[in-house]
Chain A
Amino acid sequence: MTIIEGLTLGLQHAIQPMALLFCFVGVMLGTFVGVLPGIGNTATVALLIPMTFEIPGEYAMMMLAGISYGALYGGSIISILLRIPGTTASIMTCIEGNELTKQGRAGVALFVASMTSFIGGMIGVIITIVAGPFLSNIGITLGPTDFASIMFFGLVACCFITTDQPVKNFSMVFVGLMIGMVGTDINSGYDRYFFGSDTLRDGLHILIVALGTFAIAEVISCINIEQKVLTKNFGQWLPTKQETKNCFWPIIRGSSIGSFIGALPGTGGTIASFIAYMVERKFSKNKDKFGHGSVEGIAAPESANNAAAHTAFIPTLTLGIPGDAIAVLLLGALMIYGYAPGPMMMQETPELFWGLVISFIIGNIILLIINLPLIRLWVKILQIPYNILFPSIIVLCCMAIWGLHFNHTDLLILAFFGALGYFIKILKFSPAPLVLGIMLEPYIESYI
């Protein structure tokens, strides 16, 4: 089957009224849960899989996939407005987007995030269509050394997240690597640094660290200071001509990095967004603006994580190997619906593969059409009085962490990382290298 035949077949399936409905429900649900701090797409997909057993598997997959990329956009909304990473892939957007919000340009940041997410997503879809099988073959041929090199590149690049004092970022990366060792060593099965706690024996969930060091720390640091968010230009959401021009190459580079890294098994959008940001920082003519509200600093990671969200389906569908955590769930769902993911999938069930690919395009268009007019509504979140907003954020973070394992020790760890994140912030360190270090430690140790 040629690509044109495949796309025609996919279009026939994806424009069915039921398919459009489930795609719409998926992206809307994804955006909504993405806005809630910490809930994320993985938890939502896990919760909704049992509810999709009554509907045809093809439509269910369109809905679940819609949730996965809809949540990325929702995650960037809350990251930009309140400096709370909706998903770990939004951490870089959090840093740059929130700086723009503090300058009264939240609308511009949301518009750029929305447009670059759309373009990145579409580039990811095109690459999935054109180079899917080729990329999945590259994924198989890469060995542990190559993966370790990618991880090290991410870590080293992360040390230059802020130009002043990279030694501080280096120290945060290594502290992150150390904290990442808490739990069972995946090579030897030996329990390390667990202090007799069964919860710590299972390791630290990255979401607890991300919400603690970003969301809780931000809340603590803002409670008793005068809110500096400018509200004068709230309604303005179009970037200047120069900013639009400056976004072109970041989008291309971000999407390329995201598409490649997303297609590698076991990597995912978070690493892609970190690397895209760092690469952009290196290439940009406006290096000084990075860390102080750079539009390019939003464009690159947003296009990267959205491209990666789409190309992550390549190894899942063509090899049966999950590209990231959400792909593991989708792989399980595919098997429940009676499909056999693997090299024969494109031949045996082409309507599912191509229908899903076309639904990505439709889903991204729906996201753009719905979310652009909603920008004015989203920025109104900033007008909620802070004495209502901050207790809500604390409770939502607690609920998100409670929902992970229903374990109260996780919440105590959240409190610890909240306080730690605050001190990291006031001592002029960056929490992003710490989070990346914790996240990559198991990979690095196993690949080495």
Chain B
Amino acid sequence: MLKISSNLISGIIISLFGFFCFLYGYEYKFGSLSNIGPGFFPKIVSITIICLGFLVAISKTDQKIYSDYRSVFVCSISIVIFALSIKFLGLLPAIFLTSLSSLYAQKQKISFFKKIKIATGITFFVLIIFKIFFQMNTELLYL
């Protein structure tokens, strides 16, 4: 658990996001008020985001918050595992590996055997819904 202060950090991130969008979309044609170009909206919105980010950063309520980086990291990785394995290995390994990997997000100690059991159960449940019921057109296993 890491302590971070909320409003200042979020305000800075929002302003940076707005600044990045402004720079990235700088070359899009602005056009005129009667005939707006593809850059009109991005520029107006990104400048507004920069200003709003500033307002958020200076706003009074500044609570201390806690974040759990382990869960964010493991859950994101498990979705990435799904994305890669469904492309290269097939549906069955994708579901199994995603269920198994996501279980590592929990700090609670679970034996590896139990994790395998949970992942197997979820795999069968999801396959019944999507492969049998919805007849999803994805290969179960690439051999």
Query: Which residues from chain A sit less than 8 Å from chain B, CB to CB?
Result: 36, 47, 164-165, 167-168, 170-171, 174-175, 177-178, 181, 185, 187-188, 190, 192-193, 216, 219-221, 223-224, 387-388, 390-392, 394-396, 398-399, 402-403, 406, 408-409, 411-412, 414-416, 418-419, 422-423, 426-429, 445, 448
Query: Which residues from chain B sit less than 8 Å from chain A, CB to CB?
Result: 6, 9-10, 14, 17-18, 21, 24-25, 28-29, 36-38, 41-42, 45-46, 48-49, 52-53, 55-56, 59, 61, 63, 65-68, 70-72, 75-80, 82-84, 86-87, 94-95, 98-100, 102-103, 105-108, 110, 118-119, 121-122, 125-126, 129-130, 134-138
Write 28 A-B pairs (CB below 8 A) sorted by A numbering: A47-B135, A165-B59, A177-B41, A181-B41, A185-B38, A190-B29, A192-B28, A192-B42, A216-B75, A220-B105, A223-B68, A223-B105, A391-B99, A391-B118, A392-B125, A394-B75, A395-B82, A395-B102, A396-B126, A398-B82, A398-B83, A411-B79, A411-B80, A415-B79, A415-B80, A422-B67, A423-B67, A423-B72
Q: Is the CB of A171 within 8 A of B53?
A: yes
Q: Is the CB of B79 within 8 A of A418?
A: yes
CA distance A392 to B103 in the complex (A): 10
Tell me which of A223, A411, A427 contacts B9 (CB under 8 A). A427
> Which 9 residue pairs across A and B have the least CB separation, nearest first?
A411-B83, A190-B38, A415-B79, A171-B52, A408-B83, A391-B99, A398-B82, A185-B38, A415-B76
Q: In angstroms, how far is the closest chain A Cβ from the Cβ of B35?
A: 10
Q: Is the CB of B67 within 8 A of A175?
A: no
* Chain B residues with CB below 8 A from A219, complex form: 75
CA distance A216 to B77 in the complex (A): 12
Q: In angstroms, how far is the closest chain B Cβ from the Cβ of A56?
A: 23
Interface of B is mostly: helix
Tell me which of A165, A224, A429 contacts B61 (CB under 8 A). A165
> Of residues A165, A178, A416, A426, which shows the largest number of chain B Cβ atoms within 10 Å of its Cβ?
A178
> Of residues B24, B83, B122, which shows the largest number of chain A Cβ atoms within 10 Å of its Cβ?
B83
Which B-chain residue is minimally distant from A406 (CB atoms)? B138
Tell me which of B86, B102, B118 contacts A402 (CB under 8 A). B86
Which A-chain residue is minimally distant from B5 (CB atoms)? A427
* Chain A residues with CB below 8 A from B76, complex form: 415-416, 418-419
CA distance A170 to B10 in the complex (A): 13
Q: Is the CB of B138 within 8 A of A395?
A: no
Known contacts: A168-B56, A391-B103. The answer to whether A412 contacts B83 by CB under 8 A is yes
* Chain B residues with CB below 8 A from A408, complex form: 83-84, 86-87
Q: Is the CB of A448 within 8 A of B102?
A: no
Q: In angstroms, how far is the closest chain B Cβ from the Cβ of A264?
A: 23
